[in-house]
Amino acid sequence: MLSFWEKNSLLQYDYLIIGAGIVGLSAAASLIEKNKAQKILVIERSLFPTGASTKNAGFACFGSVTELLSDLQKMSEKSVQELVVQRWNGLQKLQKRLGEKNIGLLNHGGYELIAEKETDCLQHISKVNELLEPIFQDKVFEQRDDLIKPFGFNQEKVKHLIYNRFESQIDTGAMMVSLLNYVQQKGVRVLTGCEAVQFEENREKVFVKVKNPLESKQSIVFKANKLLICTNAFTSSLLPDIDLKPGRGQVLVTKPIEQLPFKGVFHYDEGFYYFRNYGKRIIFGGGRNLDFKGEETTKIETTTQIIDHLKDQLKEVIIPQLDFEVDHQWAGIMAFGDNKQPIFKVLSPNIAIGVRLGGMGVAIGSELGDKLAGLF
Ligand SMILES: Cc1cc2nc3c(=O)[nH]c(=O)nc-3n(C[C@H](O)[C@H](O)[C@H](O)COP(=O)(O)OP(=O)(O)OC[C@H]3O[C@@H](n4cnc5c(N)ncnc54)[C@H](O)[C@@H]3O)c2cc1C
């Protein structure tokens, strides 16, 4: 049962944002930067943001050569360029807003491992460079096969290496803590353990019903002038007809490996596998392509099939000459659709949605949040 005071002071806002991932928090940041007097509430169903933003691998990336070539088969050159621009602008925005140190940004570059069957892509590096030249004012990709041996990769499996000096890595945990601190210090209220179950609107207001953790039969209804829905892979519980599919990503981290011979972020097989160093550890994720149907889930749990496969890939491809121990493993949930563009839509004069971030949401999250904040 709510008190008069609670009803008076805690239930009414200018903006209500559902979802405290990178998109929801970035939208809150952009709104409060524009007008510090606004009352903004972000609600998050779990104790921390619990979808993709605190679970990812921390690649500050915008697409590898094989990914971009594959995109070019389905999309126009202009659309591919636009996608890269969004990702690059998003990364710049994140860096500028929170500061390089606070997000643990390190620029050791990025690399794509090329197998025998993909060798064809090397002929198209210059085409991709030409496409990206107007964005970076420089050549983005270059072949660095000379590094395969010093990096210790299995030379039978890794035939070529493509280097991208614009790719960096971040510390995902530090980034999300900084983003939360940033909005809270500016006066945004973030309530966790607060799950939205339904929303309604009339001409002036939006009403968002949330579960009351203490009194399950009585929900609490927040009122706001505007509502932003930033629930990514979990959106269908609020909007059942939304056009997106969840896609689970499983990740492991090794214990520190003293002789670890590489630094940077690495991808292979069109981005289905990704690994990076974190100090002397390896963070390695992927393998969703082994079981697309099974991984189309919002269950935040790992499976033996995929984690064992990742361990095999470590042994066979990445560090065939080194021993390692897995320290921890986890899963997070992404959202995918028929194309790689996020869903960014005004649903009514007072409600908008920004979801379906795919596998590069660290890059586009700030940009999408900013676009949402600019809508009303
Ligand atoms: C394993 C993995 C690795 C990845 N690696 C990278 C990478 O290296 N680089 C990169 O750029 N991207 C990566 N991504 C993708 C990136 O993390 C996502 O695209 C991005 O975090 C999506 O942000 P979001 O805010 O849209 O969604 P989320 O982070 O999922 O946030 C949505 C939030 O909404 C909350 N929520 C949902 N429903 C409700 C409700 N009804 N009420 C209240 N709250 C609700 C959820 O709990 C969640 O916290 C990876 C993702 C995964 C899973």
Q: What percent of the chain lies above the pLDDT cut of 70? A: 100
Asked if residue 340 has pLDDT above 90, the reply is no
Q: Residue 196: CB within 6 Å of ligand 1? A: yes
Has residue 158 been placed in a domain? no
Beta-carbon contacts of 46 under 8 Å, excluding residues fewer than 6 positions away, are 192, 193
* Average pLDDT value for residue range 367-376: 96
Specify the amino acid at residue 316: E
Has residue 102 been placed in a domain? no
Edge-to-edge strand order for the sheet containing 265-268?
141-143, 160-164, 110-114, 265-268, 273-278, 281-286, 245-254, 326-336
Supply the pTM of this predicted model. 0.97
Has residue 59 been placed in a domain? no
pLDDT digits (tens, 9 = 90+) for 68-84: 999 999 999 999 999 99
Has residue 192 been placed in a domain? yes
Same domain flag for 259 and 322: yes
Q: Residue 46: CB within 6 Å of ligand 1? A: yes
* Average pLDDT value for residue range 92-105: 97
Q: What is the pLDDT of residue 100?
A: 97
Same domain flag for 230 and 257: no
Same domain flag for 198 and 332: no
Has residue 202 been placed in a domain? yes
Same domain flag for 361 and 252: no
CB atoms within 10 A of CB 240: 7
Q: Is 182 helix (H, G, I), strand (E, B) or coil?
A: helix
Q: What percent of the chain lies above the pLDDT cut of 90? A: 95
Same domain flag for 187 and 238: yes
Has residue 169 been placed in a domain? no
Same domain flag for 231 and 253: no
Q: What is the pLDDT of residue 314?
A: 98
Q: What is the pLDDT of residue 38?
A: 97
pLDDT digits (tens, 9 = 90+) for 5-50: 999 999 999 999 999 999 999 999 999 999 999 999 999 999 999 9
Q: What is the pLDDT of residue 29?
A: 98
Residue nearest to atom 33 of ligand 1 (CA): 19
pLDDT digits (tens, 9 = 90+) for 285-313: 999 999 999 999 999 999 999 999 999 99
Token pair listed for 374: 């600019």
Q: Is 166 helix (H, G, I), strand (E, B) or coil?
A: coil
Ligand 1: nearest atom to the Cα of 210: 42
Q: Residue 22: CB within 6 Å of ligand 1? A: yes
pLDDT digits (tens, 9 = 90+) for 222-246: 999 999 999 999 999 999 999 999 9
* Average pLDDT value for residue range 102-127: 97
Domain residues for the domain of 251 are 245-336
In whole angstroms, give the CA distance from residue 221 to residue 242. 23
Q: What is the pLDDT of residue 118?
A: 96
* DSSP summary character for residue 315: I
Q: What is the pLDDT of residue 339?
A: 84
Nearest to 295 by CA among 251, 250, 253: 250
Has residue 331 been placed in a domain? yes
Q: What is the mean pLDDT of the chain?
A: 97
Same domain flag for 219 and 287: no
Q: Residue 176: CB within 6 Å of ligand 1? A: no
In whole angstroms, give the CA distance from residue 225 to residue 206. 6
pLDDT digits (tens, 9 = 90+) for 190-199: 999 999 999 9
In a mutational test of the pocket of ligand 1, which residue from 64, 94, 231 has the highest number of ligand atoms less than 8 Å from its CB? 231
Say how many domains are in the chain.
2
Beta strands in 217-321 (DSSP E): 220-229, 245-254, 265-268, 273-278, 281-286
In whole angstroms, give the CA distance from residue 208 to residue 199. 4
In a mutational test of the pocket of ligand 1, which residue from 44, 93, 169, 192 has the highest number of ligand atoms less than 8 Å from its CB? 44
Residue nearest to atom 41 of ligand 1 (CA): 196
Same domain flag for 310 and 189: no
Torsion angle of the four alpha carbons 116, 121, 125, 128, in this order, in degrees rounded to the nearest 10: -150
Of 155-159, 307-311, 362-366, minimum mean pLDDT range: 362-366
Q: Is 28 helix (H, G, I), strand (E, B) or coil?
A: helix
Q: How far is CA 49 from CA 209, 332, 333, in A?
A: 19, 11, 12
Q: What is the pLDDT of residue 294?
A: 97
For ligand 1, the distance from its centroid to the CA atom of residue 334, given in whole angstroms, is 6
Q: Residue 63: CB within 6 Å of ligand 1? A: no
Confidence at 215, pLDDT banded by 50, 70, 90: confident
In whole angstroms, give the CA distance from residue 362 to residue 170. 9
Q: What is the CATH number of the domain that holds 256?
A: 3.30.9.10
Asked if residue 165 has pLDDT above 90, the reply is yes
Same domain flag for 317 and 251: yes
Q: What is the pLDDT of residue 344?
A: 97
Has residue 229 been placed in a domain? yes
In whole angstroms, give the CA distance from residue 72 to residue 115. 20
Confidence at 113, pLDDT banded by 50, 70, 90: very high
Residue nearest to atom 26 of ligand 1 (CA): 232
Q: What is the pLDDT of residue 76?
A: 94
Asked if residue 187 has pLDDT above 90, the reply is yes
Q: What is the CATH number of the domain that holds 355?
A: 3.50.50.60
Nearest to 231 by CA among 186, 194, 204: 194
Same domain flag for 203 and 324: no
Same domain flag for 180 and 322: no
Same domain flag for 198 and 249: no
In a mutational test of the pocket of ligand 1, which residue from 62, 232, 251 has the highest number of ligand atoms less than 8 Å from its CB? 232
Q: What is the pLDDT of residue 270?
A: 85
Q: Residue 234: CB within 6 Å of ligand 1? A: yes
Beta-carbon contacts of 261 under 8 Å, excluding residues fewer than 6 positions away, are 150, 151, 152
Q: Residue 285: CB within 6 Å of ligand 1? A: yes
